[in-house]
Chain A
Amino acid sequence: MEALTDLTLRQMSAMIAAGDISSVELTTAHVKRIERLNPVYRAFVLPTFEIALEMAREADEEISRGRRRGPLQGIPIALKDAFDTAGIPTTVCSRLYADRVPDRDAFAWARLKDAGAVLLGKLECAELCLGGPSKDSMAPNATNPWDKGRYAGGSSSGAGVSLATGMVPGALGSDTGGSIRIPASFCGVAGLKPTYGLVSLSGLFPLAGSLDHAGPMGRTSEDCALLLDAIAGYDPADPVCVPSAQLKTAPTLTEDLTGAKIGYVRQFAEHPAVSEEVRAATEQALKVMADLGAEVREVSMPDIMEFTACNSIIMMSEAFAVHGANLRNRASEVSEMSRKRITLGAFIRAEDYVRAQMKRRELARATAKAMKTVDVLVYPAALGDPPKLEEIEPFYYLDSPLITAPANVAGIPAASVRAGMSRAGLPMGIQITGRLFGDADVLRIAHAYERATPEFNQTALTEA
Chain B
Amino acid sequence: MTSKAEFLSILERIGLNPDDHDVDELHAAYVRLGSLFLYLKTEQSRESAKSLNRFDPREPL
Interface residues of A (CB under 8 A from B): 196-197, 239-240, 303, 305-306, 308-310, 312-313, 324, 327-328, 331-332, 339-340, 343-344, 346-348, 352, 354-359, 361-362, 364, 394-395, 398-399, 411, 436
Contacts and interface: CB of A to CB of B under 8 A. Distances in A.
Cβ-closest 4 pairs across A and B: A309-B39, A331-B20, A309-B36, A398-B32
A395 B40 contact: no
A197 B60 CA distance: 10
Interface in B31-61: 32-33, 35-44, 46, 49, 51-53, 57, 60-61
A178 B58 CA distance: 27
A411 B59 CA distance: 14
6 contacts: A324-B14, A340-B22, A355-B42, A362-B44, A395-B32, A411-B61
B51 A357 contact: yes
A435 B33 CA distance: 31
Given A306-B39, A332-B20, A355-B40, A348 B61 contact: no
Contact of B43 (A239, A346, A348, A362): A362
B10 A347 contact: yes
Contact of A308 (B20, B25, B39, B57): B39
Given A310-B39, A340-B21, A347-B7, 5 more contacts: A306-B39, A331-B20, A332-B20, A358-B46, A362-B44
A270 to B, nearest CB: 19
A416 to B, nearest CB: 22
B42 A331 contact: no
Contacts of B11: 346
B17 interface: yes
B39 A364 contact: no
Nearest to B33: A398
B26 A344 contact: yes
A359 to B, nearest CB: 5
Given A305-B39, A309-B39, A339 B29 contact: no
Given A346-B14, A347-B10, A359 B36 contact: no
A73 to B, nearest CB: 34
A343 B26 contact: yes
A239 B42 CA distance: 28
A328 B35 CA distance: 27
A327 B36 CA distance: 24
A347 B13 CA distance: 11
B40 A399 contact: no
A394 B57 CA distance: 36
A201 to B, nearest CB: 14
The winner among B17, B36, B51, B57 for most chain A CB atoms within 10 A is B36
A348 B10 CA distance: 11
Contact of B40 (A197, A343, A359): A359
A236 to B, nearest CB: 13
Nearest to A332: B20
B51 A358 contact: yes
B43 A344 contact: no
A346 B16 contact: yes
A396 to B, nearest CB: 10
Contacts of B43: 362
Contacts of B29: 340, 344, 394-395, 398
Contact of A340 (B25, B42, B61): B25
